[in-house]
Amino acid sequence: MYNKTPWPQTINGAADRIIAIMNDQEKEKVRALPEAKLPKLRFSLGIYIRNELGLFEGNHALIKACAISEHGDFEGLFFLNDIDLASDVILEAIWNRLNATALVM
């Protein structure tokens, strides 16, 4: 069952929400994954992200934030309906956050 609280509208908010749901074993698995292998998560954690964050259901603010982050303001306008791109951007943000946390510990 997916979280029914309002969807995050920023990449940071999305990463925070997913990390808060993950258990320690899941966090470590993502943290240990080389960045080049993140696309392997598209059909597991990526699908969960798309569902949990409303990317299939019209969370246009988050999709737009991801598109602009990846392609810049003007180019991002062409990628606004790319939910796969959006989940990839969020996956990368989660990976970056988990690895930054590991460096601080």
- The pLDDT-based confidence of 82 (bands split at 50, 70, 90) is confident
Per residue in 15-71, pLDDT (tens digit) is: 999 999 999 999 999 999 999 999 999 999 999 999 999 999 989 899 889 888 876
What is the distance between the alpha carbons of residues 39 and 56, in angstroms, rounded to a whole number?
19
Structural domain boundaries of the chain?
11-104
- Measured at the CA of 72, the angle between CA 100 and CA 22, to 5 degrees, comes to 35
The answer to whether the beta carbons of residues 83 and 60 sit under 8 Å apart is no
The answer to whether the beta carbons of residues 95 and 35 sit under 8 Å apart is yes
Structure tokens at 98: 């988990």
What is the distance between the alpha carbons of residues 78 and 39, in angstroms, rounded to a whole number?
22
